[in-house]
Amino acid sequence: MQKPLPIAGAIIVSFTLGLVIAVSGSGAGSDSAHAPIDLPAAATQVWFPPLADYDNGGEPLDDERLDALIATLDEAMTADETLADIEREATVHLWNFFRRLAVPTATEEQTDRMYAYLMGLGERHPDHADAITDNVSRYIDRYAVPSTDPPTMSSAIVNYTYQDWFNPGDKPFSDAQIDGLVGALGAAVGIPEAADDFARESATHFSLFANRLQAGFVSDDQHERIVEFFDELRARHPEAIEAIDKALLRVESFTPGRVAPNIVGKDTEGVEFALEDYRGNIVVLIFSGEWCGPCIGEYPYHHFILEQHKDDPLVLLGVNSDGDVETIRAAKASGKAPSYRTWWDGHAEVSTSGPIATTWGVTGWPAIYVIDEEGVIQHVRSTRGGNLIATVERMLRELRMRGYEAPAVPVPMTPAVSAPTGGDGNGNG
């Protein structure tokens, strides 16, 4: 039987955890120490046999490997680190156990043996029996049929990688908040279980990191520190450079404080236009679709803005994700959908995965970006409903005030993102 291999997690993630610890008392608006990210020991130490030993393409699970896995879980569940906070640690241990059983095919006898052992854990820890047996029942049902790939470890630790004080509330980030976010990301992607499949394990954490940066304004100095961190990741994980660079692109291009990449493509009538055509105006860029109830719920606010500010330097532009361009054409013709100019970014297979939405990393709909007259993204959060109206009216007031000053030199646009071409017989992408 294979024994667990405890390794001090501090060694593995020390290069990033130092950033989290360092935020105590640092940065703008920070006048008290913040606790560092505290991942479960079940994640920061190596407890189980290598995942590759069980990723066998759906072949039968041999008894020796099953015995090793059960013995490892048994030792993990009785470790001091686990007993110190058993519900928190056991959840991760059980997830790691079942990750190794997701791909191989177990016999009925093996399944019965596993179930008996796992349900017995609740009896051995009666004060936490409900939590343990709930996890066991859920995981057994989930992995009753073998999967093609084991689930990621990131799913088990994602809730431990964020703290409320990271959120600046649609205001500029403090240095402490940026250090906290970077440190949390480093801790999450630095766990031992992520090392062998870094690109897949890091994907969730990279996406969450980019989304969290959209909660406020990132300064140039803070952006440089983030880029330095990603450069360090590239050096440590050359096998995952493509995934790291993709994550960095979202940070560099689609967060407040960054110049919005240009978009070039055809509108719903087949006429080509570009985002940079509207430089000098405040632009509200709306990723939407008729299939999306919350998107439709925003229409009254967009109608109001179009009518209220029709003579102001304010433009609404859409990126539509419907599978058929005729859907959005009909909605606009009926007056249901607002009349702002719209790129059609949908296609028949997965309409929300068009090239514009994919490049901008849009995963939640609607996604609304407010861009200033120089092409810089100012807001991604607080862009729904009445908040959007208040945001654009405040930006218009600020723009009028700046009109008394010398005009700023335009910021160059970044390379274009092309919309899809051909396919509907009307010259639309």
Is the pLDDT at 419 greater than 70, yes or no?
no
Confidence of residue 414 (pLDDT cuts 50, 70, 90): low
Nearest 10 degrees: Cα torsion 297, 300, 302, 306: 170
CA dist 363 and 146 (Å) reads 28
Stretch among 2-11, 46-55, 154-163, 225-234 having the lowest mean pLDDT: 2-11
Residue-wise pLDDT for 346-355, tens only, equals 875 666 789 9
Query: Can you say whether residue 311 is alpha, beta or left, with left for phi > 0 and alpha for psi between -120 and 50 degrees?
Result: alpha
What is the arithmetic mean of pLDDT over 337-363? 86
Supply the pLDDT for residue 135.
Answer: 82
List of long-range contacts for 229-235, beta carbons under 8 Å, 24+ apart: 229/16, 229/182, 229/185, 229/186, 232/15, 233/189
Supply the pLDDT for residue 408.
Answer: 56
CA dist 429 and 419 (Å) reads 7
Backbone angles phi, psi at 404, to 5 degrees: -85, -10
DSSP string covering 46-102, please? --SS-GGGT--TTPBPPHHHHHHHHHHHHHHHTSHHHHHTHHHHHHHHHHHHHHTTS
Is the pLDDT at 332 greater than 50, yes or no?
yes
Is the pLDDT at 11 greater than 50, yes or no?
no
What is the arithmetic mean of pLDDT over 392-420? 73
Is the pLDDT at 42 greater than 60, yes or no?
yes
Of 304 and 428, the one with more pLDDT: 304
Q: What is the widest separation between alpha-carbon atoms in the chain?
A: 81
What is the arithmetic mean of pLDDT over 296-306? 98
Is the pLDDT at 113 greater than 50, yes or no?
yes
Stretch among 127-136, 229-238, 259-268, 276-285 having the lowest mean pLDDT: 127-136
Query: Can you say whether residue 223 is alpha, beta or left, with left for phi > 0 and alpha for psi between -120 and 50 degrees?
Result: alpha
Most confident of 103-107, 156-160, 225-229: 225-229
Is the pLDDT at 364 greater than 60, yes or no?
yes
What is the arithmetic mean of pLDDT over 60-81? 95
Q: Where are the domains of the chain?
A: 40-154, 263-418
Confidence of residue 426 (pLDDT cuts 50, 70, 90): very low
List, in sequence order, every residue forming a beta bridge with 418; answer none if it has no partner: 264
Supply the pLDDT for residue 144.
Answer: 67
CATH code given to domain 263-418: 3.40.30.10
Supply the pLDDT for residue 9.
Answer: 34
What is the arithmetic mean of pLDDT over 224-239? 97
Q: What is the mean pLDDT of the chain?
A: 86
Contact 167, 215 (CB under 8 A): yes
Distance from chain centroid for Cα 246? 12
What is the arithmetic mean of pLDDT over 277-288? 97
DSSP string covering 195-245, please? GGGHHHHHHHHHHHHHHHHTTSBPPHHHHHHHHHHHHHHHHH-GGGHHHHH
What's the pTM value of the predicted model, to 2 decimals? Answer: 0.79
Supply the pLDDT for residue 44.
Answer: 96
Is the pLDDT at 5 greater than 50, yes or no?
no
Contact 333, 401 (CB under 8 A): no
Stretch among 5-9, 190-194, 204-208, 311-315 having the lowest mean pLDDT: 5-9
Contact 399, 313 (CB under 8 A): yes
Supply the pLDDT for residue 33.
Answer: 59
Is the pLDDT at 27 greater than 80, yes or no?
no
What is the arithmetic mean of pLDDT over 172-190? 95
* Beta strands 263-266; 272-274: pairing state: antiparallel
What is the arithmetic mean of pLDDT over 185-204? 94
Is the pLDDT at 417 greater than 60, yes or no?
no
